[in-house]
Structure 1
Amino acid sequence: MAQAEESTAAGPAGRTPFQILGDALDTLAESGTLDEARRPGAEFLAWSAVHGLAALLVDGPLRGLAAGQVRA
């Protein structure tokens, strides 16, 4: 996790994409949209799901999908 929070990966607001994801999940839990019991570690599940989909779309078997299919 240390690499995901390195200041060299931070954007103009001083937060890394991984930290921003964590902040968003915290907000969802605080608002009751995300069950607080499911919050711990949720950033790892979300990050890996998006990374996996991206890998399938860029280099994997889904790379030939039309843009409309990718957006859906």
Structure 2
Amino acid sequence: MAFGVPGDLDRAFVAEKAGPGGASPFGLLSGALDDLVRFGCLPAERRPGAELLAWSAVHGLAMLVLEGPLHGLDREVRMMAGRGVVEMVVRGI
């Protein structure tokens, strides 16, 4: 998932960014990370700022593919890169 947040990080949680469940994409990511801590899947000491790391990695790849030098990659390579970035984020957090 890639997020577009105009302005600053405070706007990541505003009501107009919320989907049908009432949370913004950034809020969903933050909540999922909190749940991982609550269920013992993510050590609490690794939680602070984890959403910023995940967001940065996924958004970076998305921008490279959409508007940057990776724009011309074929679908299979883009999918492989996307899976790889998500896996890297999960393992790194």
* TM bin (shorter chain): over 0.9
- Corresponding residue of 1:59: 67
Q: Partner amino acid for 1:63?
A: H
Q: CA RMSD in A?
A: 0.9
Residue number in structure 1 paired with 2:44: 36
> Which ranges of 4 or more aligned residues in structure 1 deviate by more than 2 Å?
none
Q: What percentage of residue pairs aligned between the two structures are identical?
A: 50
1:2 CA drift (Å)? 1.2
Partner of 1:50: 58
DSSP 3-state at the match of 1:2: helix
TM-score, length basis structure 2? 0.73
Please give the secondary structure, in 2, of the residue aligned with 1:45: helix
Q: How many residues align?
A: 72
Q: Using structure 1 for the length normalisation, give the TM-score.
A: 0.92
Deviation per residue, 1:4-62 (Å, 9 max, x gap): 01100100111000000001111112222222111011011111111111110001111
